[in-house]
Amino acid sequence: MRIKKIILLFQTRNERYWGFRLVRCSDAKMVEGKITGDESNILAALTSDDSGWVHDYFYTKKQLTEKELFAMPYAGCTIEDIREFVKKGFRK
């Protein structure tokens, strides 16, 4: 299977705050943001579509300071919020 996207999950040391960077492999376009949910919200938003789970991605985690994470734009909390944020980011 060909990898279509790379997902980098960001977390603070205490895993209280989360963010992500999504890179589309076809054109290297990137979207990143912080959320008020947790890791499962990000993965559910970015690894499933309306018809089910997809397996065309690679993901890893990286620890950031709160200052670094809070410098990112806010992507929302719910799965729908995150998906809409990513769609808008890729349209720019």
CA–CA gap between residue 24 and residue 33 (Å, rounded): 15
DSSP states of 19-55 = EEEEEETTTTEEEEEEESS-HHHHHHHHSEETTEE--
Token pair listed for 55? 């397996």
Enumerate the β-bridge partners of residue 42.
Answer: none
pTM for this predicted structure: 0.91
Token pair listed for 38? 């947790």
Q: What is the pLDDT of residues 48-92, one digit of tens each?
A: 877 788 889 999 999 999 999 999 999 999 999 999 999 999 997
From the list 62, 85, 59, the residue with the least C-alpha distance to 6 is 59
Domain ranges of the chain: 5-91
